[in-house]
Amino acid sequence: MTAPSEEAAARIREAVGELSPDRLTDPEALGKVLPIGEFLGPAALAYVAADDFRPVAPGELCVEQEPRGRAELDDVVRAADVKDADEAGLDEITSPTYVVRADGQAVAAAGYRGWPTRTAHLSVLTAPAWRGKGFARATGSAAVRHALDQNLLPQWRARLPASRRVAAGLGFSELGRRLSVELA
């Protein structure tokens, strides 16, 4: 667990001391011992090492590398549900952006944000009308390849079963769970 201050950390430690580890990522259980405002998750945390990575075959789908901050990514974000777009966090990536286009418009995008200890936290989003066509896997694969080439450890945070399946298809192994909460 992390907390924004020593005071908050002490308050959390005292409140969750009796909870089992698996209950620490259960919003209902946590809400019984802490005043929770907004929360994100719970979600599975998955990681992949270079030896386990199963990339999308070159040429399977055309994935283009774009510089960060391209305005056309707004098309992907606007097409998605606000909650999905916020969770994907494409606006926070520090890597190049990888996109798949349909009819000249970006319909899927991925990249990653560099985190401490050489972790690459992936962000992947596909416009709803284009889901189920392998676009998330293709753009995610390109972003993972870039992260591995930079000697980073790719991390995939997935709440939805479809996202978890994409990660598993790329060789990610789920190693933990995460719940982010804002104390009320």
The CATH number of whichever domain residue 97 belongs to comes to 3.40.630.30
In a domain, 23, yes or no: no
Whole-prediction pTM value? 0.82
Average pLDDT over residues 14-35: 82
In a domain, 183, yes or no: no
Q: Note the pLDDT of residue 61.
A: 77
Range of the domain at 115: 43-177
Q: Considering its fold, how many domains does the chain have in total?
A: 1
In a domain, 27, yes or no: no
Q: Note the pLDDT of residue 58.
A: 76
Name residues whose C-beta falls within 8 Å of residue 175's C-beta, 6 or more positions apart in sequence. Answer: 45, 46, 47
Lowest mean pLDDT among 6-20, 28-42, 47-61: 28-42
In a domain, 11, yes or no: no
DSSP-based three-state secondary structure for 153: strand
In a domain, 24, yes or no: no
Burial of residue 110, with CB atoms counted within 10 A of its CB: 0-12 exposed, 13-18 middle, 19 or more buried: buried
Q: Note the pLDDT of residue 110.
A: 94
pLDDT in tens, 135-152: 999 999 999 999 999 999
DSSP-based three-state secondary structure for 127: coil
In a domain, 102, yes or no: yes
In a domain, 18, yes or no: no
In a domain, 49, yes or no: yes
Residues 173, 176: Cα–Cα separation, whole Å: 9
